[in-house]
Amino acid sequence: MLDLDNGLKVRDNFFNLSVNNIILNKEIKKEAEKENISQNDIYFREWYLFENSYDESKTAIDLYLEKDLSEDEKFFVENFKNYVLSIFKVKKDNGEEYVLLNLINNQKYCVKKDSTDQNIDIGEYVLARLIPFDTNTYFFTNTLCKINIDSNDQIYSILAQFELDYPHSAFTDNKNKIESSYKIQELEYQDFVEFFGSDEIIVSGDEITEKLHEFYHYRYFQKKDKNTGKTIAKIFREKYGSHPSIPSIDLPINLMELEEVGIVYDVIEGLNFLPWYGVFKEIFRNENFKEIPGYKKCVNEYLKSDTISSLPFKKVMREFPENTVKVIKDILDRKRFNIPEDFNKLMIKYKQKTITRSLEPTLIPMPERTKALLRAKKTEEFSGLHFYEVSKKYRNLHKYC
């Protein structure tokens, strides 16, 4: 097991990788230009090191693990992937460690004071990314940042925005929230199928907002619970004094401008928005798929996309297994392709990044963004905050500090 000094040395060498590794530094610069942000921004560089991938599914952590490290060092670095990014309140100062309360998942973390040069006081709020050092303690990374607030209302508002910007933070070390999310997601899936008559619909991009509004208005304000005879909105109002807001989902403009988008609801993955989904399905349904213009490009775009999971491929495989084999063999120029063995290998090759993402719900139980509702403890029974990760995107952390 690493001692404190060696652990800090390994951590610092990892951050130096973004400067010293020519290939990685070049990729960071390219991504910074795309995001229109300085490549020297410490928040951006840290985001890239921990959250972005530069070579298919390869991350900076994977690159660092290829170096000549001891087994203890490798174990430590591998655990970087289990980082905790959140807003914390400093609860205690134990001399060598701070005790921080994660305000998103309500868990406490012991963090080595030597892992930061900054002094923080009990009662202060900080934005930080923590990495596990051993089974009981953590290190700060580079993003320790004090949050100055004028009132409790302000921190509630900041927390609501943070959970919206970083939805995965809600599930870190929080099995109860994951279970609660999946329960709500399953109920919502059932309502989606009941309302639309299927778990998927195909609409034009400019119809997405209207269709979702119609669905959530039905779910919240029209459908009545079989046991109570009340709608979600009525139950919510009786308990919290106001109606729940209908969820809104921010989607990229280019998706909204398409002539055809598939809205697919999956029990595990939640809402998916798939461009040209009707064409995609027709390729796998039609035995004369080669006559469909651009069929190869369409399937290849689905395969290579970072934002489309394995879900559409699983659906066509179940619906049209024989034709799916023919299409894949043609697209990949293969003589053999067996289901499920080769199909699973194909998904691992092209959809590795989305596999991990799909293990978490896409619906977060969360109170409304007001002081009273943010203090409520059981609002997850009635409302949910949705997110749809359109792409791996850098969210500027400066706005919280």
pLDDT at 251: 80
Sequence-separated (6 or more) residues with CB below 8 Å from residue 362: 167, 185, 269, 270, 271, 386, 387, 388, 389
Task: Please give the Cα distance from 151 to 371 (Å, whole number).
Answer: 11
CB 21 within 8 A of CB 13: no
The full DSSP string for 151-203 is SHHHHHHHHHHHHHH-GGGGGTT-HHHHHHHHHHHHHHHHHHHHHHSSSEEEE
Chain CA centroid to CA 69, Å: 30
Neighbouring C-beta atoms of residue 114, cutoff 10 Å:
14
Domains of the chain: 4-79 (no CATH), 83-172 (2.40.50.140)
Q: What secondary structure letter does DSSP report for 397?
A: G
Helix 295-304, helix 341-357: angle, nearest 10: 50
For residue 204, give the amino acid letter.
S
Answer yes or no: are the C-beta atoms of 124 and 189 closer than 8 Å: no
Question: One digit per residue, pLDDT tens: the chain, 401 residues?
Answer: 789 999 999 999 999 887 888 888 888 888 888 878 888 888 888 888 888 877 656 789 988 999 899 999 999 999 998 899 999 999 999 999 999 999 888 889 999 999 999 989 999 999 999 999 998 999 999 778 888 887 777 787 788 778 767 766 766 766 776 777 788 889 999 999 999 999 999 999 999 999 999 999 999 999 998 889 999 889 888 877 777 777 777 788 888 999 999 999 999 888 899 999 999 999 999 999 999 999 999 999 999 887 788 999 999 999 999 999 999 999 999 988 888 888 988 888 888 766 555 456 665 554 333 333 333 333 333 333 333 333 345 556 666 66
How far apart are alpha carbons 106 and 96 in whole angstroms?
22
Distance separating alpha carbons of residues 355 and 377, to the nearest angstrom: 31
Q: What is the pTM of this model?
A: 0.65
**Residue whose token pair is 């997110």:** 387
Return the residue matching tokens 């921004």: 41
Angle between the 277-285 and 321-332 helix axes, to the nearest 10 degrees? 100
- DSSP one-letter string for 345-390: HHHHHHHHHHHHHTTS-SEE----SSHHHHH-S-GGGT--EE----
DSSP conformational letter for 224? B
Measured CA angle at 71 (ends 65, 76), to 5 deg: 65
Distance of CA 206 to the CA centre of its chain: 25
Look at residue 378 and give its three-state secondary structure.
Answer: coil
Task: Map residue 391 onto helix, strand or coil.
Answer: coil
pLDDT at position 386, please?
Answer: 35
